[in-house]
Amino acid sequence: MNENEKKKTILVVEDTDLIRKFISEFVEEEGYNVCEQDDGEKVMADILKKKPDLILLDMHLDDIEGTDILKEMETRRIQTPVIIISAYEDFDKVSLRDRFHNVFKCLPKPFSYDNLQDLIEEILQ
């Protein structure tokens, strides 16, 4: 990354502390600014305030579903790309990408950091 280039910001939305910390540390080591959120009700405020370049979104948070966040983003015409992360195999990846224009990719847990890194680079470069 060029020194004159602004570092891109990634918002990590994950309610499991250990997973959120691992993802955040990895993303930070890759040279990105990181914002973390574990409270689904506060995600939209973070998106509006911090204006991330990419969102890594857990599909099933304790207090809200990822689809509710995606619907709110769509209502507010927020174009930020999203990578969905989920341990649940029951979510329909194709349907999510068809329904929500900013869903770039769905990553099943567990995932490799190489896959995550490739996706981030593809979206932000």
93 in any annotated domain: yes
Residues 6 or more apart whose Cβ sits within 8 Å of residue 15: 38, 39, 40, 58, 61, 62, 63
In the predicted model, what is the mean pLDDT of residues 68-79?
A: 94
3 in any annotated domain: no
4 in any annotated domain: no
Query: Residue 1: what pLDDT?
Result: 47
Q: pLDDT tens, 102-123?
A: 787 888 888 899 999 999 999 9
Residues 6 or more apart whose Cβ sits within 8 Å of residue 51: 9, 80
Tell me the CATH number at 42: 3.40.50.2300
53 neighbors 80 (Cβ within 8 angstroms): yes
85 in any annotated domain: yes
Question: What's the total number of domains in the chain?
Answer: 1
How far does Cα 15 stand from its chain's mean position? Answer: 12
Residues 6 or more apart whose Cβ sits within 8 Å of residue 74: 100, 101, 102
Range of the domain at 47: 9-124
Query: Residue 95: what pLDDT?
Result: 64
Q: What is the DSSP letter of 40?
A: G
Query: Residue 4: what pLDDT?
Result: 44
